A and B are shown apart, each in its own frame.
Chain A
Amino acid sequence: MKLGNPKVQGYLDNGSVPNSNNSVIDAALVSWSRLQVLLNYNINAGTTFSTPIISTYSLVYTTSTSFIGGVLAPNGDIHFVPYSAKVGQKINSSGVVSTYSLIYTTSTPYQGGVLAPNGDIHFIPLSATVGQKINSSGVVSTYSLIYTVANAYIGGVLAPNGDIHFVPYSAIVGQKINSSGVVSTYSLIYTAVGAYAGGVLAPNGDIHFVPRAAAVGQKVSSTGVVSTYSLIYTNSSGAYFGGVLDPSGNIHFVPISATVGQKINSSGVVSTYSLIYTTTTAFSGGVLAPNGDIHFVPYNAAVGQKISSTGVVSTYSLAYTTSGAYIGGVLAPNGDIHFIPASATIGQKINTTATSYSLGICCSSFFNKL
């Protein structure tokens, strides 16, 4: 990691976050390279302690598998995405937890969410028969979907043109909603039961689906071209769940039951790496911390696990663990990483960094989704 910022014609490049919705995220990685300047600033700023500061807090509403995935709203609220929960739940920038009414609840309706350019947070339909969103004024509404089936989609990603793509779990077609609210479907190359869970926006604007039971990787380019690629490690009973983009441009798949880590770099090269702690259904979802660490979110894991910006994997103690504890996480502008409570009865967060991302970076489509 180089220190400091690059000079360009006698001026310092302080970096820039690209707009997430007007196709400025380019295949040549120019916009990504400028975002990297901002990311590297935070990595170089260091951390207060060598281990994360972990704390817990009370929740208003808990139940088994209550929420799966979370999204940061434009006002700094973190919304938990309802799975078995009958109400929405959020935590504001002051740490106040509150709930709100939903319009549509059923058994296992949504998993994961995405922030749209107009400030709407869309919940991703797993078994829901309607889409559901909450706007920046706090108004909850539903909308029609074209394709619905049980266990359809898990997680979503905002494409560089402003479309929100749902990630196919067992769905046999892709589905997206554009910035005008128009829902459409498109063909996939590879489908399977429980194929993918979560997605990641790559530096070149491709959306990668994270392989859960899939035998091949699959992605959608910024022009809508779907393609597949070979993976090194696959597990038909569940390899990875959720993914995270690191400051170097690697996409890390988060090991749910995989025995090795797996990533794909910005040139498309897939590789694996050793993990310290593995178990069945260990982690679900992950978050990039401002210091460059990627934290895996503990589902059944007894310890936290992270990989640093230099590739060092390490574990750390958590304040609270239980079966099916958390799925997905969100980085707040104060540097806190909040784990989203699935069956956990208390909230849990970690903080590591000397500097933090601004709200504008935290909300970037590269980071703000399951």
Chain B
Amino acid sequence: MKLGNPIVQGYLDNGKLPNADDGSIDTAMAAWSRLQVLLNYSINAGSTYNTNIVSTYSLVYTTTNAYTGGVIALNGDMHFIPVSAIVGQKINSSGVVSTYSLVYTTTVAYQGGVLNSKGEIHFVPYSGKYGQKIDAAGLVSTYSLVYTTTSSYVGGVLDPNGNIHFVPFRAVRGQSISPTGVVSTYALIYTVVNAYAGGVLAPNGDIHFVPRAAAVGQKVSSTGVVSTYSLAYTTADAYNGGVIAPNGDIHFIPLSATVGQKINSSGVVSTYSLVYTTPNAYTGGVLAPNGDIHFAPYAAAVGQKINSSGVVSTYSLIYTTSGGGYYGGILNSKSEIHFVSLAAPVGQKISILSAAPFSLNLCCSPFFNKL
């Protein structure tokens, strides 16, 4: 890693966060390369310790299968996405946990969420019959979907034009919501039961679906072209959720996979060894400001991360359960990673103590802010 920021034509490139909704994220990856400057600035700035500070805190509402995935809002509130919870739950920037009423609840309603350019957080419909969102003022509302089925989608991603795409789990059609709220569907090339869970926005604007039981990778380009590609490793319940690394690699988070898998910005798929694997180990992950990608512990007994140099390591957690503790995580501008409580009776977070935490705007970028 070279020090600091590059000097371009005698001027310093301080980096730039691209607009997430106006087509600024380009296929030539010029926007991404400038975002990388910001990411590398934080990586180079370091952190107080080379170890992670793990702590727990009280939640207001807990139940079995409460929340899956989380999203940080424009005001810094971190929202947990209700799967079977009957209330919404959030943590504000001061660490205060609170709940709020939902309009629609049902068993296994939503999995994952996405922040759009209006400041709305959309819950991704799993078996929910309606879309549901909370706007920047805290108003919760529902809207009609075009396609619903049991266990339809898990996770979503905001594309470079401001459309929210749901990631097909058992759905046989893709589904998206435009910035003006128009819901539409589109054809997929590959579908199978439990196909994909979670998605990632790639440096060139493609949305990659994370393969859970799928035999091939699948992506949607920024112009809406759906395509597939070969994977190096597949199995039932392989991966759940994905994270983009500062070098542009998309890492799939190992659920029951015995190897890590990633696809780089040139489309090359490769695998790497993990330190710890077990069935249903991790669901979702988070990029920390120091470049580490943390996997969110579902049934894992230890935390696991991969650093910006590709070194995989594990660390102790305070609360773990083999029954599924957490599902997804959220990074805030204090360089804290909060794991989202699925069935855990306590919240759990990792304090990175970054010397240069990501700003709130950077935390909210669609490259990072989703399941």
Contacts and interface: CB of A to CB of B under 8 A. Distances in A.
Contacts of A18: 46
B4 A75 contact: no
Contacts of A13: 3-4
13 contacts: A9-B2, A12-B7, A13-B3, A14-B5, A15-B355, A16-B45, A38-B45, A92-B94, A117-B53, A136-B54, A358-B355, A360-B354, A365-B48
B335 interface: yes
A75 B357 CA distance: 13
B154 interface: no
A118 B50 CA distance: 10
B56 interface: yes
B49 A20 contact: yes
Given A12-B12, A359-B354, A364-B48, 16 more contacts: A9-B2, A11-B2, A14-B41, A14-B44, A17-B45, A17-B47, A17-B48, A19-B50, A38-B355, A74-B353, A75-B351, A136-B55, A138-B57, A360-B355, A361-B48, A361-B355
Q: How big is the B interface, by class?
A: 20 to 34
A7 interface: yes
A93 interface: yes
B351 A136 contact: yes
A360 B41 contact: no
Specify which of A15, A360, A364 lies most central, judged by the most chain B CB atoms within 10 Å of its CB: A360
A358 B357 contact: yes
A334 B48 CA distance: 17
Interface in A1-59: 5, 7-22, 24, 38
B51 A118 contact: yes
Interface of B: 2-7, 12, 41, 44-51, 53-57, 94-95, 318, 334-336, 351-357
A119 B354 CA distance: 14
A228 B357 CA distance: 40
A94 interface: yes
Contacts of B336: 75
Contacts of B356: 14, 358, 360
A71 B51 CA distance: 19
Chain A interface residue number, banded? 35 or more
A310 interface: no
A360 B45 CA distance: 9
B12 A16 contact: no
B351 A119 contact: yes
A12 B355 contact: no
Contacts of B334: 75-76, 359
Contacts of B95: 75, 92-93
B48 A8 contact: no
8 smallest CB-CB distances across A and B, nearest first, come from A136-B55, A119-B53, A12-B4, A17-B355, A360-B355, A74-B351, A19-B50, A14-B4
Given A11-B7, A75-B55, A22 B41 contact: no
Contact of B45 (A8, A15, A20, A138): A15
Nearest to B316: A118
A364 B49 CA distance: 8
Nearest to A16: B46
A359 B55 contact: no
Given A11-B7, A360-B356, A137 B55 contact: yes
A24 B355 CA distance: 16
Nearest to B56: A137
Interface string A67-78: 000000011100
A135 B55 contact: yes
